[in-house]
A and B are shown apart, each in its own frame.
Chain A
Amino acid sequence: MSEEQIKQSIIRQIVQIAPDIDPDEIIPDKNIQRSLEIDSFDFLKILTALDVELGVAVPEADYGQVDTLNHMIAYFAKRITP
Chain B
Amino acid sequence: MSTFVMPSLGADMQSAVLMEWKVKEGDPVTKGMVIAEVETSKGVIEIEVFEDGIVEKLLVEEETECAVGAPLALIGSKDTAAAIEPTAQDIEKPSLEASKEPEHETVADERIKVSPAARKRAKELGIELSSLTADKEAIHLAQIESKIEPEAIQPSGMRQAIAKAMSRSNAEIPHYYLSTSINMTPALHWLEELNKNRSIQERILPAALLIRAVVCVLKEVPQLNGFWKNDSLQMSAAINPGIAIALRKEGLITPAILGAEQMNLDTTMQTLSDLITRTRSGKLRNTEITQQTITITNLGDLGVESVYGVIYPPQVALVGFGRIMDAPWAQGDTLCVRKVMEATLAGDHRATDGRIGGKFLDKLNQILQTPEELR
Contact = CB atoms under 8 A, between A and B. Distances in A.
Chains A and B belong together in one complex: yes
B248 A20 contact: yes
Given A39-B246, A57-B199, A61-B192, 19 more contacts: A20-B248, A33-B301, A34-B303, A37-B248, A37-B302, A40-B205, A40-B207, A40-B301, A41-B205, A41-B207, A41-B272, A41-B273, A44-B203, A47-B200, A48-B200, A48-B201, A60-B196, A60-B203, A61-B196
Of listed B192, B199, B201, residue having the most chain A CB within 10 A = B201
Nearest to B303: A34
Contacts of A51: 199-200
B200 A40 contact: no
B249 interface: yes
Nearest to B272: A41
Contact of A60 (B195, B201, B272, B302): B195
A44 B205 contact: yes
B195 A39 contact: no
Interface of B: 192, 195-196, 199-201, 203, 205-207, 246, 248-249, 272-273, 276, 301-303
13 contacts: A18-B248, A20-B248, A34-B303, A39-B246, A40-B301, A41-B205, A41-B272, A44-B203, A44-B205, A47-B200, A60-B192, A60-B196, A61-B192
A39 B246 CA distance: 10
A34 B199 CA distance: 25
The majority secondary structure among interface residues of chain A is: helix
Contact of B200 (A33, A37, A39, A57): A57
What band does the interface of chain A fall in when counting residues whose beta carbon is under 8 Å from B? 10 to 19
B320 to A, nearest CB: 16
A23 B246 CA distance: 21
B249 A39 contact: no
B101 to A, nearest CB: 36
Contacts of B303: 34
Of listed B199, B207, B248, residue having the most chain A CB within 10 A = B248
A51 B201 CA distance: 10
Of listed A18, A47, A60, residue having the most chain B CB within 10 A = A60
B206 A40 contact: yes
A64 interface: no
A58 interface: yes
A82 interface: no
A33 B246 CA distance: 15
A5 B246 CA distance: 32
A18 B247 CA distance: 10
A33 B302 CA distance: 9
B203 A39 contact: no
Contacts of B196: 59-61
Contacts of B302: 37
Contacts of A40: 205-207, 301
A39 B205 CA distance: 11
A39 B244 CA distance: 13
A48 B196 CA distance: 15
Contacts of B249: 20
A20 B207 CA distance: 24
A23 to B, nearest CB: 16
A51 B303 CA distance: 27
Contacts of A61: 192, 196
Nearest to A61: B192
Interface in A36-81: 37, 39-41, 44, 47-48, 51, 57-61
Contacts of B206: 40
A44 B199 CA distance: 11
Contacts of B205: 40-41, 44
Nearest to B195: A60
Nearest to B248: A20
A67 B207 CA distance: 19
Contacts of B200: 44, 47-48, 51, 57-58
Contacts of A60: 192, 195-196, 203
What 9 pairs between A and B have smallest CB-CB spacing?
Answer: A39-B301, A48-B200, A51-B200, A20-B248, A41-B276, A57-B200, A60-B195, A40-B205, A40-B301
